[in-house]
Structure 1
Amino acid sequence: MATTSHAARLRGFARSFHPAGLTLALLFFVWSMTPSLLPRAWFLQAVATGISLATGYGLGCLVAWIVRLCGFSPRLPDRVRRAGWWALAVLTAVTVPTFLVLGSWWQQITRDLAGVERVDRADYLLILPLAVVVAIAILAAARAFRRGAAALTRLGSRFVPVRVARLLAVVLLGVLASVSINGVLHRGIISTADRSAATADQGTAEGVVQPSMPERSGSPASFQAWESLGREGRTFVAGGPSAGQIAEVTGRQAVTPIRVYAGHQATTDIEEAAALVVDELERTGGLDREVVAVATTTGRGWVNARVAAALEYTAGGDSAIAAMQYSFLPSPLSFLADRESPQVAGRALFEAVERAINERPASDRPKLVVFGESLGSFGGQAAFSGAPDMTARTDGALWVGTPNFSPQWAHITAHRDPGSPERLPVIDHGEHVRFAASGADLDLGGAPWSTPRVVYWQHASDPITWWSPSLVLQRPDWLREPLGPDLDPGVRWIPFVTFWQVTLDMVFSADVPAGHGHTFGPDAAQMWAAILNPEGWTEADTSRVHTTVAALATG
C-alpha cells in the first residue's frame, strides 16, 4: 500500500512538469555544457547545469503562460499529447548523454589551453544526478514561493481587488525573502566567517619568521608589533629579496628594500592604520628612497609576492612598499559583506603617503607609484577620479586582475579608442595607459609611451575581470570580438547560462598556472620595467628578474 502511494505521488510529481518548460530545460542543459573561461570541476559544472535547467524550465513555463494569457490555449488530442511526450523523451535520451560526452571533451580542451592537468572524463557522468537535484531544489523553492503568494492573494482579495492583492503578495514575499537571505548572510555566514578569519589571522604561515632588519615592520626596531600584523602582513614583511640577492640578479649595486605594514589587529580604524603606515615610512627612511609604492591589499591583507619582488628587483632595492590590512575576510566574502572598506582603505593610505611626500621639498621627493591586485586594484583606484588623475598624482601604476565592478576601470575601458578590443583596450593611442595580458602586449606596435605610465594587467580567461550581472541578458563586447588565445574558440555568450558559467569559473580562478585566469606571476618583471623605466635597464635585466620572480611562491 505504501509502495502504491509513493508511486502515485511520484507520477503526480512527474505530471506536474510542463512540456514547454522541459523542452527549454533540455536546451539550457545543452548550452550549460559548452565551454567558458576556465576548466570547471564536475561538481561546479553540475551546479551550473542545475541552475541552467531550472532557468530554462522557468522560461518555458513563462512563455506558455504568456501564450495562454493571449488567449491561445489549444486542446490537443490525447494521442498527440502522448506522441509529444514520447518525442521529448527520445530527444532527451539522445541529447543528454551526447552532450555529457561533448562537455567532458570541451573541458579537456579548456584544461589544455589553461595549462591544467587533464582529469578522468568519467567524472562527468556524475553531473547529471547532481544537476537534477539542484534544479529540483530550485523548482521546489519557486513552487513554495508561488503557493505562498497564492495564499496571501486569497487573504488580500478580501480587502482589495485580486490583481492588487496578487501584486502586494509577490512584493511582500520578495521583501521577506530578501531580508531573510541578507540576515542569514550577514548575521550568520559573514559573522561566523569573520570570527573564523580573525582567529586564522593570528597564525603565521609555515617558514615565515620575524625579520631582524630595521627596514621591515614587525622587526624589533618597528613601531608595529610582529603579532599585530596578521598572517598576510607577517608573510609580506618577512619576504622579499635582500640587497645581495638583488645585486646578484641585476649586476648592479643594491640596497635592502623597505616594507612597511599595519595590521587590522593594531587598529580597526582605517585612517589610523594609514597613519601608522606613514609612521613606519618615516621610521625606516622610506620617504628617502627612490621609489615609494602604495599597495592596496585584498580583503585579508594579501600582497602578491611576485609583484612586490619584481618592483624591488627593478628598483635595485631603492624602494619602500607601504600596505595595510583593512579586513579579516578573504576577498570573495569581503566583496559580499563590505565593498566600501577597500575603497576607503585605498584612498586613505594613498592620501596619507601623498601628504607625507608633498611635505618634502620638490627636489627631495621620491617617485610615487601605486599597485593592487583584484579587490586591491578596486580599492586602490578609488583614490583617483580616473586616468588623468592617476597620471597627475603618481609616477606610475600597476592594476592587476581588476574586477569588472571597478568604476575607474569600467570608464577607461568604455572610452577606449575605436576599433580596439575590450579584452585589451587602447587608450589615447597608448599615450599613458596600456592594457596587457603579458609583457609583450605593452609594446603596442612601437607607439610612443609617455610617463607617467599606467598598466592594467588582465587575462582574457580571468572571470574576476569579466564577471558582471549584465551577462544575464547582455552580450559583452569581449564575446563579440576575437577571443583571447587561451579561450576555446567555441566560447559563446548565451543568455542566463554564461552568467552562471562565469560565476562558477571564479571559484577556482586562481588555481591555474600564471598567465591564465586570476593568477599573475613573473610577467610582473616586464610590467615594472616598463613603468619605472630605470636608467640603463635592458631586456636582459628584465629577463633575469622574470626568471627569478617565476621561482617565487605567489604569497
Structure 2
Amino acid sequence: MVTPRARLLGYGRRFHPIGLGFALVFFVWSMTPSLLPRVWYLQGVASGLSLVTGYGIGCLLAWVVRRCGVDPQWSERTRRVGWWILAGAALVLVPVFLVLGSWWQQIIRDLVGVPRAQRSFYLLVLLIALVVALALLAIGRGLRAGTNRLTRLGRRYVPGPVARLGAVTLVVLLSVFVLDGAVHRGVLGVAERSSEVADQGTAPGVVQPGLPERSGSPASNEAWDTLGREGRTFVAGGPSAEQIETVTGAPARTPIRVYAGRESADTVEGIADRVVAELERTDAFDRRVLAVVTTTGRGWVNANVAGAFEYVAGGDSAIAAMQYSFLPSALSFVADRETPRLAGRALFEAVYAAWSARPEPERPTLVVFGESLGSYGGQAAFASGPDLVARTDGALLVGTPNFAQPWGEITADRDPGSLERLPVVDAGRHIRFASRPDDADLPGPWQFPRVVFWQHASDPITWWSFELLLREPDWLREPLGPDVDPGMRWLPFGTFWQVTLDMVFSADVPSGFGHAYGPEAAQLWADILAPDGWDEAATHRVQNALAGTASDD
C-alpha cells in the first residue's frame, strides 16, 4: 500500500529542478514594488502567476538544451546535493522576501496615502501562490497529456511528426474554442444579464430631477427608468446655478445634462440620435460650451470632471452622454473593446453634425472628455492628434488605456528627450500631457484649441500592455514619476503580472494616484476653456466644492 508520504514524494519528483529554480527566482521578483499597493490576496495571485511562469520558462529552457544534444547524466549524489541547495535557497529566500514584500507594500501605502495593512497576512501569500501555481500547472499537464494521447492515436494512421503537429493544433483550437466560446461568451452572457438587472436600480440619494434642463425630468423625452443606474446618477447630480454663483462669485445658469440609456434604442447610432434630440429640446446649442462625453462600460461619468467643467463654464454649458452597455468597465476592458469605439464615434459624429449645421457664429465651443474606456472610446472619432485639434475646441482625456488611439501614436511621436509618461508634442502647441495639473505649464505658448491627456504615473490602466511581458517600457527606463515607488524595476513577465493585478483596485486610492482622478480637474478645465476673469483662487474654491463628491464605476 502506498503511504501518503510516498505519494507526496512521488508527486514532488515530477517537478523539474531547473523549473523550480526559475520558479523561485520569479516568486522573489513578484514581491518587489509595483505601481500601487496590493492587498495580500492579490499579491498571492500575482506571485502564483509569476511562479508558474518561471517554472514553465525553466522547463522550456531545459527542453531546448536537451534537444540541442546536451543531456548530462548526474550522479545520484550530485542530484541529492542539488535538491538540498534548491531547498536551502527556498527556505532562506521565501521568508526573507515575504517580509521584504510586506515592508515594500507599506512604503507604497505611505506614498499614496493609504492606511497601512496588517503585515501578518503576508504569511498567506505563499499559500495562495502555491494554490494558483499548482492549479495552472495541473491544467497545463492535462493539456499535455491530452496532446500525447492524441499523438499516439494519430500515429496509427500518419507519421509521428504529422501526428504530433495535428494533436498540438487540435488541442490549441479546442482550448481557444472553450475559452473564447463556451466559457468566454457564457461568462459574458451571465455577466451582462446580471448587470442589466442591477442597472434597473437607483443609487441611494438619487432622485428624479424636475428641471427641464435634465434628461429624465418630466419635460424630457427620455424616461427616467430608461437611463440606467449611472445615467440616473449623472442627470440628478452636478452643481446648481446657485451653487456655481456661490463658488465663483459670478452670475451662472443651470447646467444642461442630457443622456440616453442603453434601452432607448437598438443601436448605438439610435441612442446617439436620441441624445441629439435632447440637446435640441433643451436648447443646448445656444449655450456657450457643449461637451460630448463617452462614458465607461455601463454609462458612468466622472462627477469631478463633469462638475468642474460646469463650474468653470459658469453653468452656461451642456453635457451630452449616453450608455452603450450593461457591462462594468472591468469586463468591457477585457472582453468588449469594440462597443466603446462604436459608441464614441456615433455620439460625437451625431453631435458634430448638428453642431456644424448651425451658422458658425452661433455655434457653442465644442469640447470632448472621457475617462478610461470613455477616453478610449471617445478618441475613436478622431484619426489623429491633428484631427482631434481640428474638429474640437478642446478636450480633457483622462486615464487613457494603453491600447487607445490616437493616444498611442501621439505618445510614440513625442518630441525627442521628453518622457513617455509626460510627452511633449510639438513643443506643447496644442496637445499637452499632465500627471499633476501644473505639468501642463510648459515654456512655450499654448494655442487654442487646447487638448490635455491627464494620466498619473501610477495609473496601471494607462501603463498596462502585453509588451510588459518581454520589453522594458520607456516609462520604467526613464526617471519614475513622483507617485511611483523609486524601487520599482522592470522584470520580464513579473512586471506584467504585477501591473495586471494593480488594475483591480486602481481607483481605490486617494485622488491624485492610480486611476483616481478628482477635483484637480478644475485647474485643467480652466486651462482648456480659459474663461474671462478666472484666477487661481477661483480654481481652489471649485476644488474645495468638489471634494468628496465623486463616485467610481
TM-score interval w.r.t. the shorter chain? over 0.9
SS in 1 for 2:107: helix
1:488 CA drift (Å): 1.1
Aligned with residue 465 of structure 1, among 462, 468, 486: 462
1-side partners of 2:294 and 2:183: how far apart? 26
Counterparts of 1:105-144 in structure 2, within 5 Å, are 105-144=103-142
C-alpha RMSD of matched pairs (Å): 1.0
How big is each residue's C-alpha offset from its partner over 1:124-178, in whole Å with a ceiling of 9 and x where there is no partner?
A: 0000111111111111111111111111111112222212221221111011011
The 5-angstrom pairing of residues 475-514 of structure 1 reads: 475-514=472-511
What TM-score comes out, normalization by structure 1 length?
Answer: 0.98
Judge conservation of contact 1:268–1:326 (CA < 8 Å) in 2: no
Structure 2 portions without partners, runs of 5+: none
- Report the Cα distance in structure 2 between the residues aligned to 1:156 and 1:501, rounded to whole angstroms: 41
Q: Which secondary structure does the structure 2 equivalent of 1:487 belong to?
A: coil
Task: Check whether the contact 2:456–2:512 (CA below 8 A) recurs between aligned residues.
Answer: yes
Q: Is the 8 A contact 1:344 1:382 kept in 2?
A: yes
Q: Secondary structure at the match of 1:301?
A: coil
Distance, in Å, in 2 between the alignment partners of 1:543 and 1:197 is 38
Per the alignment, residue 408 of structure 2 pairs with 410
* TM score, norm. by length of structure 2: 0.98
- Cα distance in structure 2, aligned partners of 1:337 and 1:47: 21
Shift of 1:297: 0.3
Match of 1:171 in 2: 169
**Corresponding residue SS for 2:264:** coil
Q: Displacement, 1:207? A: 0.2
C-alpha displacement at 1:64, in angstroms? 1.1
Pairwise mapping of residues 47-446 of structure 1 onto structure 2 (< 5 A)?
47-444=45-442, 446=443
Say whether the 8 Å CA contact 2:178–2:184 is kept in structure 1.
no
Determine which of 453, 465, 472 is the counterpart of 1:456.
453
Match of 1:519 in 2: 516
1-structure distance, mates of 2:76, 2:111? 51
How far residue 543 of structure 1 moved from its aligned partner, in angstroms, is: 1.4
User: Is the contact made by 1:299 and 1:334 (CA closer than 8 Å) also made in structure 2?
Assistant: yes
- Number of aligned positions between the proteins: 552
Give aligned-pair identity as a percent: 66
Secondary structure of 1:295's counterpart equals strand
Mapped to 2, the partners of 1:212 and 1:162 lie a distance apart of 75
1:47 and 1:210 map into 2 onto residues whose CA distance is 43
Query: Does the aligned pair in 1 maintain the 2:343–2:377 contact within 8 Å?
Result: yes
Indicate the residue corresponding to 1:21 in structure 2.
Answer: 19
Name the CA distance, whole Å, in 2 between partners of 1:525 and 1:240.
14
One-letter amino acid of the counterpart of residue 511, structure 1: D
CA distance, structure 1, for counterparts of residue 403 and residue 157 of structure 2:
44
Q: Deviations over 1:438-482 (max 9, x none)?
A: 1111102x3210000000000011110000011111111101000
Give the Cα separation in 2 of the matches to 1:79 and 1:5. Answer: 25
Kept in 1: contact 2:295–2:371 (CA 8 A): yes
Query: Mean alpha-carbon deviation: is it higher for 4-13 or for 124-133?
Result: 4-13
AA of the residue aligned to 2:387:
D
Q: Write the distance in 1 (CA, Å) between the matches of 2:266 and 2:478.
A: 45
Any idea what SS the aligned residue of 2:452 has?
strand
Structure 1 residue 184: Cα displacement:
3.2
- 1:521 and 1:554 in contact (8 A); partners too: no
